[in-house]
Amino acid sequence: MATLVANLARARVLLARNIAERGLPSARQAVPVRTKITNSAGAMLPEPYNIRFGLAKVLLVSTFLYLGAWISKEGAEFLEENDIFVPDDDDDD
């Protein structure tokens, strides 16, 4: 395990040295999402408006996934109770 970590660290150093020698942009360098950052007068544009609802999105999605699964289960039970759809054993072939 220690040799694996050492080899990975050595490879990372060699890669960084190669990138630096060739003048290539670093792999960790951030790529701008928006290319226009100044207006015609040269003034900086304001930061773009960004809405993040990370935890709220996770909670909403998981809630509605659970709700959909529950509705599907109840629907399947209803169909079996009323003999509308009853799976046969020979349908598995």
Task: Give the tens place of pLDDT for each residue, 36-91.
Answer: 778 888 888 888 777 788 889 999 999 999 999 999 999 999 998 998 887 776 65
Q: How far apart are CA 77 and CA 83, in angstroms?
A: 10
The verdict on residue 10 lying in a domain is no
The verdict on residue 65 lying in a domain is yes
Is 53 in a helix, a strand, or coil? coil
The verdict on residue 4 lying in a domain is no
The verdict on residue 15 lying in a domain is no
Q: What pLDDT is stored for residue 78 in this prediction?
A: 94
The verdict on residue 29 lying in a domain is no
The verdict on residue 79 lying in a domain is yes
Select the more confidently predicted residue: 27 or 8: 8
Q: Which pTM does this prediction carry? A: 0.42
Count how many domains the chain has: 1
The verdict on residue 36 lying in a domain is no
Q: What angle do CA 67, 73, 77 make, to 5 degrees?
A: 145
Print the domain residue range for 57.
52-85
Q: Are 28 and 35 spatial neighbours (Cβ–Cβ below 8 Å)?
A: no
Q: What pLDDT is stored for residue 7 in this prediction?
A: 78
